[in-house]
Amino acid sequence: MLISVVQAVLLRELAAVQRSVQAYPDDAAVWALPQGLPNAGGTIVLHLAGNLQHFVGAVLGGTGYKRDRAAEFARRDVPRAELLAELASTIDAVRSTLPTMREDSLAWSYPEKIGGQELPTGVVLMHLATHLAYHLGQLDYHRRVVTGDSSGVGAVSPLGIGGE
């Protein structure tokens, strides 16, 4: 059951990231960097997509995805259509990987060391979910600051978890 809940949370948050990208008025706004903000919205999206495609898709699902973390933070002016395509690939990786996992695998060591440590797979998945939520919040604030639009995109709704 926990794997399906983690999957539901990841998919809910990724859908909110998609809605956030779509809520920017144009490609340039995604890449605006107001003073005081460390990353543009596009950078956050590239980082989230790379992170999950690596840790869920490649490591757990064997997708063959090759992460370039430095490029996640160095690329600029990537069109929203390309950002959305990366998010679609990320959603596919989550949807195709997590249902294949056994519940008891959450207690097993994650196949890759994290920060030089072996951690249980369940701990890594929980971290990935909270990491995604953290950056979704940053993306939401970035969009609001850049556009001046304080309306939300339905992020962090309890709907979509547990079959609702």
pLDDT score, position 161: 61
**pLDDT classification of 141: cutoffs 50, 70, 90:** very high
**Which pTM was predicted?**
0.94
Domain boundaries, the chain: 2-147
Cβ atoms 90, 44 nearer than 8 A: no
Mean pLDDT, residues 113-132: 96
Mean pLDDT, residues 39-49: 98
Cβ atoms 11, 56 nearer than 8 A: no
Cα angle 126-74-57, degrees, rounded to a multiple of 5: 35
Cα→Cα distances 90→8, 10, 79, 109, Å = 14, 10, 17, 23
pLDDT digits (tens, 9 = 90+) for 49-87: 999 999 999 999 999 999 999 999 999 999 999 999 999
Q: What is the mean pLDDT of the chain?
A: 94
CATH 2.40.128.50 assigned to 2-147 = no
**pLDDT classification of 159: cutoffs 50, 70, 90:** low
Region at 135 (left for phi over 0; alpha for psi -120 to 50; beta for the rest): alpha
How much of the chain exceeds pLDDT 70, in percent?
95
pLDDT above 80 (res 17) = yes
Instruction: Count, in order, helices (H) and strands (E) of the chain.
Output: 6, 0
